[in-house]
Amino acid sequence: MNAMNIRLGTRRSALATTQAGMVADQLRELGHVVEMVEITTVGDTSSVSLSSIGGTGVFAAAIRQGLLAGEIDIAVHSLKDLPVAPEPGLVIAAIPVREDARDALVARDGLTLGELPVGSVVGTGSPRRMAQLAALGLGLSVIDIRGNVDTRLSLVHNGSCDAVLLARAGLSRLGRLDAVTESLDPLQMLPAAGQGALAIECRADHPELIEALIPLDDPDTRACVIAERALLATLEAGCTAPVGALAEVVEGESGTELFLRAFAGSPDGTVQLRRSAVGPLADPERLGRELAAVLLQEGAADIIASENIQPDASRPDRSLSERAL
C-alpha cells in the first residue's frame, strides 16, 4: 500500500496524547506520515461530574466533529469513552491489542483494598466502581473526583483521599505502574466495557485509509469489546451506568470461545447482579445481547435507572474536582 499523510486527532491530556502517540508510531513504522492534531473537548474544560455533563461520551464528541468536518483523518479514543451507538458517517477501523483491563488501587502506605481501615476515603469518578465498592461491604467512604491521572494521584499524596481507583491501562501507558498498590481481580471489580482498549476511528467514506489501519486491528480484542458493548447497548446503559463487563478469549471443550462476565448494581451496594455466559468467538454480539437479556430479566433495568444517584449521598459536599484543588 502507498504511504499516506494522516492527521491524527487527540485530546490534549497526557494520557490521550500518549495513546495517540503509540498509534502514530505504529503507523509511521508502516511507512505513513502522521501529524498530531490536539483538540479540546467539553470533558476537558468542565469541572463538574461526568454524569451531569452527559457521561464520558463528552470526551469523544468534539473529536468526532473534527473527523466529520474533515479537519482530521483519524481519531484515537479510549474505547470505554465511546458511546455504544454508532456515529453516522464514522467507522471504528482498528482496535489494537488490549492493555490489561483491570482497575487499579493507589492507596496510602502501600495498602491493598482489603487492608484499608473502615471509614477510609476512596476517590473515583465512576458509578460502576462506586457500586462495586459498596457491594463489597468494606465500610469505605466513597467520594466523587475529577481530573487527570496526576491530579487523582495527588489526592492520595496530599491526604485528601486514602486511596483512588483508576484504570490500570492508563497508568501503564503513562509509565506510572509503580504507584499501584493493588490490581483488582475482576471477581472483586469488573472493569468498564472496553476498558484498556483503544479505538481508531475514521470516516466511513475513506476506504484507502480504512485499509491502511487494518494492520493495527487485533481480532481477539475486537471480539471481546464487541460482546461487552453489545451488552451495554442491550441494557441501554450509558457511560455513567453502574455496569461492568469483561470478555475474554478462552479455550473451551469445543475449542476457542468467548467468556463474558457482567455486573449491574445499585450505588449503595444493596442490589447487585453478577452473571456470566460463554459463546462462540465468531458471534460476540449475540453473546453480549443474550447475557444482557438475562440481566434484564433479573431487574437490571431498575438498577440502571438509578444511575444518577450521587456518591455518598449523606455527605453531598464531599466531592473533589480538578479545579477545586
The grid coordinates of residue 45 equal 474544560
CA distance 246 to 293: 16
Annotated catalytic residues are 81
Closest CA to 95 of 22, 197, 172: 197
Pairing of the two strands 141-145 and 319-320: parallel
Residue among 27, 48, 123, 41 at smallest CA distance from 82: 41
169 CB-near residues (< 8 Å, 6+ apart):
98, 99, 100, 101, 195, 196
3-class DSSP string for 272-320: EEEEEEEEECCCHHHHHHHHHHHHHHCCHHHHHHCCCCCCCCCCCCCEE
Helix axes 149-157, 14-29, angle to 10 degrees: 140
Q: How does DSSP classify residue 79?
A: G
| Number of CB atoms found within 10 A of residue 45's CB | 10
